[in-house]
Structure 1
Amino acid sequence: MQLDGIHHITCITRDAPRNVDFYARVLGLRMVKKTVNQDDPRAYHLFYADEAGSPGADITFFEWPDLPPGRAGAGMVAAIVHRVASEDALAFWEERLTREGAPVERSPGRLRFANPEGLAHELAVVETADPPLVARSAEVPEEHAIQGFDSVRALVADVAHSEAMVRQVLGFTPAGERTWESRGEHRGSRITFERAAEWGVQGGGTVHHIAWSAARADLDGWRERIMAVGGRPTPVIDRFWFESVYFREPSGILYELATRDGAGFAADEPAERLGERLTLPPDFEHLRDELERELTPLPDVRRWRPGAPAAP
């Protein structure tokens, strides 16, 4: 059994309209699913990714407007690193993000910035054989587009215990100081652990969980491995577009194993129209009228897609 790096990363926002503007317009990602949190259906769950909604490019957000702002600390992913193609791409993003009012920090091969709620991101020029996972945007040239996840930086209370989980149980391999790589047949990505003395506070602008990409046929085997070291994984949960197992690693980070060979985001809407309307798993369809009345109206993402009419 092998994991294929990061499947998706799920975060928290307090402001879904602003979130859509930042990730779909500013960063040029494609909204591939506008739906609800299946454990809290009166909250949005928004998915942004490449054109196909591929594992390895999918950053998602729960909207909880009443939740206070959070703070990254032990037991949390603190920064998300995305790949880009070149230093020229970094220069494009430095200018674009600065123009949008996002503070940036440039260094060779890297650009650090935060989303409007303070969630830390980095863009990195990375040499890899992995195919680039790119979205088409009316505002971001393809040669400068974000190409999928490279890695995450995680804060933990006990680095050794967190490293033991990824090494001994999940099969990651060393990739630098306190850095571990998950690489399978299809793709790979990395996690770097840093010790933090202060525990994190989950809220707006923080990461809720990180999902690693697994084959459906392996989920039961992964559950057995996790239980063998005292972990407490959930049963396999059907999320309609994929299936998942959740558990907490030794410092409390919520990990998910999500299937790369699930139904996919085009299972219930045409691939060319992904994310344009509210879609609900069948078990929630009876709530549609109520949810469409209650959920906050969102920007029309079609305006930022190639071929959209020019703004008046």
Structure 2
Amino acid sequence: MQLGGIHHVSAITGDAEQNHDFFTRILGMRLVKKTVNQDSTSSYHLFYADAVGTPGTDMTYFDIPNAGKTYPGVSSISNTAFRIMSEEALVFWKQRFEKMGVEHDEVIERFGRRTLTFHDAEGSRLMLVVDDGKGVPYGIPWETDDISEAFAIVGLGPVTLTVRDAGPTVNVLTEILNFTEIGSYSSLVEGIPEIRVFSTGEGGAGAEIHVETRIDLPVEKPGRGSVHHVAFRVATIEEYDKWEELLRQKGFLTSGKVDRYYFKSIYFREPSGILYELATDEPGFATDESTEKLGETLALPPFLEPRRKEIEASLRPINIKN
């Protein structure tokens, strides 16, 4: 069985309105689903993606207003990248970040691609990567008033894991999840081993995990801006069932099969403590809303709909629109 690449990345915000402003107004992504954390329904769960919510394009945030500060370290998902289609787009984004006061570093090359790291106001560790479109196809650009299709974000790029001991993490990626090691590149930190690159499915930036070894850091203390988990794409329900069986056979304690309505999931932790999710591509976000209306209202899956009044009463009022 082969995973199809990155499905989504889920992180934490302490300010849903500020988070929404950053991802929609500044980054130009589309809010494709405004729903709740199904495991804690008093918290919003916001999904930002391409024009139609294509699997592999969505960054999601759980709204936890009392979340503390993140103290970066190992056992973490330390960077999430977004794919853009050209060098010209990278120039556009660097100038846009400077104009809008977005904290960012200089453009550098990582694994043969031009990249630009940046942060939102809560310290989310993010990166733009110029991607030639080989491998996992681009998503469908969401054009805004000031971001053209040519410059739009078109999917998730490589996700970086930071661990103290790469061995067990690499073993899960290659021996359990069937990733292939395809190379490495130099770390920006002196004395730190090269960052190793692993790929799955069709390959390319949308199908890569980068593993960084840091023996000099403590375990990360998560908070605002930290990543909760990374999800990998499962093509079919048949494969989804087989993945659950395989993980249990290999001795992993999993969540069991969890129906999220928009996709079906299995959760488990790899040896460094990082949370992985395997998520199906189908049925998708247009299951309960038309593509044209995605993200415009509070969407609840059918098993939560009977509790709508109770859930809405428990949510803090927020003013966000697509």
Instruction: Name the CA distance, whole Å, in 2 between partners of 1:225 and 1:59.
Output: 27
Q: Please state if 1:202 is matched with 2:205.
A: no
Describe the SS at the equivalent of 2:48: strand
Q: Please state if 1:254 is matched with 2:275.
A: yes
Per-residue deviation, 1:163: 0.5
Per-residue deviation, 1:139: 2.5
Instruction: Name the CA distance, whole Å, in 2 between partners of 1:70 and 1:158.
Output: 21
Q: 2:137 aligns with which of 131, 135, 141?
A: 131
Instruction: Write the deviation string for residues 65-90 of structure 1: whole angstroms up to 9, x where unpaired.
Output: 11212223222100011111112111
Q: Please state if 1:145 is matched with 2:152.
A: yes
Per-residue deviation, 1:256: 0.2
Matched AA of 1:152: V
Q: Could you tell me whether the CA contact under 8 Å between 2:259 and 2:265 is conserved in 1? A: yes
Per-residue deviation, 1:15: 0.3
Matched length: 301
Instruction: Name the CA distance, whole Å, in 2 between partners of 1:92 and 1:185.
Output: 26
Q: Could you tell me whether the CA contact under 8 Å between 1:246 and 1:255 is conserved in 2? A: yes
Q: Could you tell me whether the CA contact under 8 Å between 1:7 and 1:213 is conserved in 2? A: yes
Instruction: Write the deviation string for residues 142-177 of structure 1: whole angstroms up to 9, x where unpaired.
Output: 111111012011111210110010101101011212
Instruction: Name the CA distance, whole Å, in 1 between partners of 2:260 and 2:73.
Output: 28
Matched AA of 1:291: I
Which residue matches 1:27?
A: 27
Instruction: Name the CA distance, whole Å, in 2 between partners of 1:85 and 1:176.
Output: 22
Query: Cα 1:20–1:232, aligned 2, differ >3 Å: closer, same or farther?
Result: same
Q: Could you tell me whether the CA contact under 8 Å between 2:156 and 2:206 is conserved in 1? A: no
Per-residue deviation, 1:288: 2.1
Instruction: Name the CA distance, whole Å, in 2 between partners of 1:272 and 1:127.
Output: 29
Aligned alpha-carbon RMSD (Å): 1.8
Instruction: Name the CA distance, whole Å, in 2 between partners of 1:135 and 1:251.
Output: 36
Q: Please state if 1:216 is matched with 2:237.
A: yes
Instruction: Name the CA distance, whole Å, in 2 between partners of 1:30 and 1:233.
Output: 31
Matched AA of 1:229: K
**TM-score, normalised by the number of residues in structure 2:** 0.89
Query: Cα 1:184–1:226, aligned 2, differ >3 Å: closer, same or farther?
Result: farther
Matched AA of 1:201: K
Unaligned residue ranges in structure 2 (runs of 5+): 109-113, 185-195
Instruction: Name the CA distance, whole Å, in 1 between partners of 2:138 and 2:321.
Output: 22
Per-residue deviation, 1:46: 0.3
Q: Could you tell me whether the CA contact under 8 Å between 2:67 and 2:224 is conserved in 1? A: yes
Query: Cα 1:228–1:291, aligned 2, differ >3 Å: closer, same or farther?
Result: closer
Per-residue deviation, 1:24: 1.0
Q: Please state if 1:180 is matched with 2:198.
A: yes
Instruction: Write the deviation string for residues 172-229 of structure 1: whole angstroms up to 9, x where unpaired.
Output: 0112121100224999511111123410112111000000000221122212322333
Which residue matches 1:171?
A: 178
**TM-score, normalised by the number of residues in structure 1:** 0.92
Query: Cα 1:22–1:283, aligned 2, differ >3 Å: closer, same or farther?
Result: same
Q: 2:310 aligns with which of 270, 275, 290?
A: 290
Query: Cα 1:298–1:24, aligned 2, differ >3 Å: closer, same or farther?
Result: farther
Which residue matches 1:232?
A: 253
Which residue matches 2:111?
A: none
Per-residue deviation, 1:36: 0.2
Q: Could you tell me whether the CA contact under 8 Å between 1:33 and 1:275 is conserved in 2? A: yes
Q: Please state if 1:189 is matched with 2:210.
A: no
Which residue matches 2:72?
A: 72
